[in-house]
Amino acid sequence: MPVLRSIVHMDLDTFFVSCERLLDSRLNNKPILIGGTSDRGVVASCSYEARKFGIHSAMPMRMAKQRCPEAIVIKGNSATYSQYSRMVTEIIKEASPLYEKSSIDEFYIDFTGMDRFHGVLKYSSELRHRILKETGLPISFGLSENKTVSKIATGEAKPNNQLQISYGQEKPFLAPLSVRKIPMVGLKTYQSLCDLGIRTIHPIQELPIEMMERALGQNGVSIWKKANGMDQSPVVQYNERKSISTERTFNQDTIDVVKLKGILSAMAENLAFQLRRGDRLTGCVTVKVRYSDFQTKTLQKRIPYTAADHELIPLVMDIFKRAFDRRLLVRLIGVRYSALVTGNHQLGLFGDAIDYPALYRAMDEIRLRYGDRAVIKAIGLQAKTIGGWNPFNGEPPALLANRRS
């Protein structure tokens, strides 16, 4: 008989907004928009008061302000949000035997087997209240047998609440909900389901799985399983992948600063591409310099979570400037991104001048199609590729990841 699991999904409510309200209580109970403050910007997050006007994440800021002229617009501070995220992570880490940080404000916890010592619902509730007390951040959770049902339950529990779905009650709980509640059902898939006359989850539960497969392929199979409360995906320990890095050992030691900076730029850019390719963000950047006498200087800096070239490359250059402090030939240089979390470049929505998320999507699509050097900054043209592998799909790193030039 399979072991019944106890999976908790925790999600910080309107996380960016909650952080801003901790810093300025005058923002409480007011419609808040966080994101690019110009008309060209987009909404990264919005308060529940703003959502009543039909505003949502990724909406153009201009449209959001038209819908709610009295809304308070804040550019946002990714460093502040990253700091609060780490505070919550430390509390969950201390209290949980196995947890997964799936984004900057979202966690899965596996409490399977704890019922023999504590009531899982009671323990989860105490953890939620501890986070609220120690950080001031409202947080909600769902508890069920698997990740999918728990995530949906969290959404139904919000704001600042909790919901348990008992064993065997998964299908009745899901049945009346909109199919948009199912993770992985976006607008395009929703429209396809509407064309089939399906708007709630219950009709999917009544359909044979083969019919969903014929209509939507393997995506239809996955949707059918989730609609029926089936999900065997495990909670993946947060520290499973701690970093990605690359190094370059030179055949001849060099003191050519232009060359060194070009190679470091290419390394930083390529590793950032690998982060985005694996839906990861980094919270710590390290630069290594090894001199001809084999003395090594390594410097690192904690940063707000990001996977953006325009943030990471200047940072790598700044760290290199501080690390390269001896008048000696250089034998090796390297870059490492660590403190990784799962997530897209949502924090990049705070800017105004350039739509960086769209720019990086376009650049990365070109790289995936034509190779990792199809798009590269001019400063890094003399650097050789560090390999086209994806460090997050279980494959071993390519031998090119540490090479001579």
pLDDT tens digits, residue range 92-131? 999 998 999 888 899 999 999 887 656 899 999 999 999 9
179: domain CATH number? 1.10.150.20
Question: What is the pLDDT at residue 102?
Answer: 86
**106 tagged catalytic:** yes
129: domain CATH number? 3.30.70.270
**Residue 286 and residue 203 share a domain:** no
Q: Is residue 166 part of a domain?
A: no
Q: Is residue 235 part of a domain?
A: no
Q: Which of 106, 145, 269, 311 is catalytic?
A: 106
**Residue 289 and residue 373 share a domain:** yes
Whole-angstrom distance, CA of residue 185 vs CA of residue 279: 18
Mean pLDDT, rounded, for 391-396:
42
**Residue 292 and residue 204 share a domain:** no
> Which of the residue ranges 136-150, 221-235, 339-353, 368-382 would you say has the lowest mean pLDDT?
368-382
Question: What is the pLDDT at residue 4?
Answer: 86
Structural domain tally of the chain?
Answer: 3
**Residue 68 and residue 90 share a domain:** yes
pLDDT digits (tens, 9 = 90+) for 150-169: 999 999 999 999 999 999 99
**Residue 209 and residue 254 share a domain:** no
Which of 205, 227, 249 terminates a domain? The answer is: 227
**Residue 392 and residue 254 share a domain:** yes
Question: What is the pLDDT at residue 197?
Answer: 93
**Residue 324 and residue 260 share a domain:** yes
Question: What is the pLDDT at residue 308?
Answer: 87
Q: Is residue 233 part of a domain?
A: no
Mean pLDDT, rounded, for 351-365:
62
Question: What is the pLDDT at residue 344?
Answer: 63
Whole-angstrom distance, CA of residue 365 vs CA of residue 101: 27
383: domain CATH number? 3.30.1490.100
- The answer to whether residue 369 scores a pLDDT higher than 90 is no
Q: Is residue 384 part of a domain?
A: yes
Which of 133, 161, 189 terminates a domain? The answer is: 161
- What's phi and psi for 197, nearest 5 deg? 80, 20
Q: Is residue 177 part of a domain?
A: yes
Mean pLDDT, rounded, for 327-333:
92
Block residue for tokens 């060209």? 40
pTM (whole model) above 0.95: no
Residue 159 preceded by cis peptide, ω within 30: yes
Which residues constitute the domain of residue 184? 172-227
Mean pLDDT, rounded, for 326-354:
76
**Residue 64 and residue 144 share a domain:** yes
**Residue 264 and residue 179 share a domain:** no
pLDDT digits (tens, 9 = 90+) for 50-84: 999 999 988 889 999 999 999 999 988 878 888 89
